[in-house]
Structure 1
């Protein structure tokens, strides 16, 4: 306890001096000048700890130079609170009156202030998705995309959006909402007119001031499906004039030219096998 008139008295009431400190304060910086009335010729001071609040794993977080309190080691708000240390917390300055060697304990309270020093963090830097070209519109494509923000309060909340300027395929997709990064198909896909591999960029931007953001890549592999029938080069029919004495094995060509069909699919799906279906004996031709 301290009494008024003693050099170990606080200059201002109330008796408890409350100190605030931003969590991004750099070590070596002055945190506060303690309002003790005595001068160096009247008193000496020593920082002691009321509990393990500010002394963890053998680390002293503060240095006291007479009445000037300096930060010795970084004090991260998220680390501090995640370890269930109290905030605000108290520490004690042991004040000794040099004239009579009497010792007085003075309580101080420090309130550690959270700042927006962490951007949202995606669970992965790249999300890989295999997507059939026949996927129906309004299908939820992926539910595994998510981010988190270790900050607290408004700084720990954030919104998702697809970056508008980095992909021509953004219009094919949307997010369920600004707080749900699940991807929904909103436009029909077509393997034949799209890149088989393309990327989207998703952004998570927090609500701190100033706000921080991070990005992740959504890498989509489009899978070709055999969903298109072959088409003949003649859309109606072919006509043949065959002489009655035409020999077996002789090539006959329709009046419209060689019979040719093409498949509108690509790759292995584009292989075409021809066969006669209306002859008395089904024969395969090439």
Structure 2
């Protein structure tokens, strides 16, 4: 096999595209999967991920830890994640800044919470415990939210900055989430960017959303909009070279559309003069 440099932009690896990605090996920077889909000890999905890992860097993106839940115990979940990390040896591990469990009930959702110092203490302790168990830093993603809390003592960006200071974690900067929140709450997304510790950004997510009469909904079911591309341009011009990912989970298009979105992200990085490092894929 021949190694050659490739695009820094990755794509979410989803089942309808398994065959083409593994057979054609497009020149993408990395692939990302939802960690929980690969918690089984064996099976076709895990074998596919292992094959993909032979050709691409892998990012494990968690959706189930609910780090801000007050009464949640996630020991079994963390152990399954640790086992997957040891098996796959991913380049990145990430999780959302959210809660999702109460009174022994786990909700299949990523729910917002008030950004208070009490919540910061809780989340920081859980992030530290997670990083200690995995023996590596994790990235925490900013959330799309549709409510705000009167009791909040800081913005989400300020909360994330404090979390980075206290834990040494990285940030997964989801630009669509940031844009959706700004539009829904009547704020400037550039202000949110200014409050983030950009040096801690280890990965960038790019996705689409749905426009409704009530506001924007983060659906991951359409192309990235021009305003989100503009935010990526602003981030790149700040010298942030973290790899970007095209995140498309619903109404999944043909692989060629994802690759075209990735190519647009590459052009923005090239025009801004930033680089995401030496990433390689294998070719037959």
TM-score by length of 2: 0.21
Higher fraction of helix: 2
Higher CA-based Rg: 1
Q: TM-score of the superposition, structure 1-length normalised?
A: 0.21
Higher RCO (CA < 8 A, seq sep 6+): 2
